[in-house]
Amino acid sequence: MGDITVSAPGKVILHGEHAVVYGKVAIAASLNLRTYLRMRRGTDNLISLDLPNIAIKKSWTTDGIKSQVSLPLCDPNKPVGVSGELLTKLKDIAGVDQHESDTKQLAVITFLYLYCALAAHKGTLPAIGLKVVSVQPVSAGLGSSASFSVCLAASLLQLSGIISSPAGDEVWSEAERDLINSWAFFGEKILHGNPSGIDNSVSTYGGAIKFKSGKITPLCRVPKLQILLVNTGVPRSTKVLVARCRERYQKYPDIIEPVLKSIEAISHRCEEVLAELADSPSTDLYETLEDLIDINQHHLGALCVNHPALEEIVRTAAKYGLHAKLTGAGGGGCAFIFIKPDTPLTTLADIKSEFASQKLSCWETSVGSPGVTAHSGDDGHLKQLFS
Ligand code: MEV
């Protein structure tokens, strides 16, 4: 068997982050900033993991893992989460402190769990070397951890023959993607505690989606949307921010519940406006999208997930007549600035150079790229990425 190469996109949440954790509607879309994974069959009995973006390089012997984990763990067609007992063993194998909740270490645990559940489901452990390279910023609210879990699930399910091996640059069937998504969700749970599942869903299916309590509805009528993503460079943890929002909710439920309902109403309105814009673009509709961005940015402040660096981006955008909000968990990470079709190119050039002078990285990008995809190993761009 040759190498397995897969990729999965990052995401931008247009509206509904945090509210989605409480069963409210969110609207999200994939980004053409992707995570790529290459898996090589080993000739020795080593399992190796190379994650250059977060400076992790680890390896284990297949015998070492076999001696600590009783395999097979489960039926790979029936996704389940990691048990507390197994988590303790995996932390031992990974050499991680039992109380460690650092994202880098949790990424290793996620790999070990999905490897044991999916690659070793027949009780034998294949020797593999895995390298994951992300061309999206990590820990910045753009779903890099979800695209990591999606790539792991897809490649390990393919290695085990549980899903097909597409010829290259192809997506899997609906049922196969559902299986990838369910396993990626359990990966996300290791990384983030109690995620809503929106990030892994966008990364798996791609395009633009509406998400509510695990139900995914693709948005079929969406205009071409252009955004400028700006990274505050302030690292943050999704788990911590979700907990911070929950604290506020528990302290003031009668005040916060209406805020969450209002965010849901924003998501609904956003969906309607996007559909109307796809049919007939109008200045009024673009202005409504801008209003929704402004209102939601204030709501997210009320949920305690804003950050001065995000507010500074919002202020800079306003100076140029543009509108911005945080995206993802907040508390740092990225904001997006909405670009209308009539936004002058000179305005864009000016704001980009202002961010550059503040040493903030930004990317102009369109939303709605394909979800998890299998690639042919011959692709020159990928060869370069993994060299
Ligand atoms: C993180 O990208 C989005 C949050 O709503 C958390 C989640 O949905 O799991 C903050």
Looking at every residue in the chain, the average pLDDT score rounds to 94
Which residue type sits at 7?
S
Residue ranges, comma separated, of all CATH 3.30.230.10 domains in the chain are 4-221+372-385
Provide the 8-state DSSP code for 28.
Answer: E
Closest CA to 104 of 33, 65, 51: 51
225-367 homologous superfamily: GHMP kinase, C-terminal domain (3.30.70.890)
Given a contact cutoff of 8 angstroms between Cβ atoms, the answer to whether 12 and 377 are in contact is no
- Determine whether 199 is an active site residue: yes
CATH class of the region 4-221+372-385: alpha beta
Given a contact cutoff of 8 angstroms between Cβ atoms, the answer to whether 185 and 148 are in contact is no
Q: pTM value?
A: 0.95
| Each residue's pLDDT expressed in tens, for the chain with a length of 387 residues | 689 999 999 999 999 999 999 999 999 999 989 999 999 998 789 999 999 999 999 999 999 999 999 888 899 999 999 999 999 999 999 888 776 668 889 999 999 999 999 998 887 899 999 999 999 888 888 999 999 999 999 999 999 999 999 877 777 999 999 999 999 999 999 998 889 999 999 999 999 999 999 999 999 999 999 999 999 999 898 989 999 999 999 999 999 999 999 999 999 999 999 999 999 989 999 999 999 999 999 999 999 999 999 999 999 999 999 999 999 999 999 999 999 999 999 999 999 999 999 999 999 999 999 999 999 877 788 888 898
Catalytic residue from among 30, 134, 199, 237: 199
Residue ranges, comma separated, of all CATH 3.30.70.890 domains in the chain are 225-367
Instruction: State which ligand 1 atom lies nearest to the alpha carbon of 328.
Output: 2
Q: Which residue has the tokens 């989606």?
A: 209
Beta carbons within 10 angstroms of residue 122's beta carbon: 12
Closest CA to 121 of 86, 73, 89: 73
The CA distances from residue 312 to 326, 354, 362, in Å, are 11, 12, 14
* CA 213–ligand 1 middle distance (angstroms): 12
Q: Identify the residues whose C-beta falls under 6 Å from ligand 1.
A: 13, 17-18, 20-21, 195-196, 198-199, 238, 242, 328-329
Which residue type sits at 56?
I
The CA distances from residue 242 to 43, 167, 249, 253, 355, in Å, are 43, 40, 10, 15, 28
User: Which mutation among 200, 238, 264 tests ligand 1's pocket best, with the greatest number of atoms within 8 A of CB?
Assistant: 238
d(CA 82, CA 87) in angstroms, rounded, equals: 6
Closest CA to 271 of 223, 224, 225, 219: 219
Which residue type sits at 95?
G
Q: Residue 83: how many CA atoms within 13 Å on its side-chain side?
A: 9
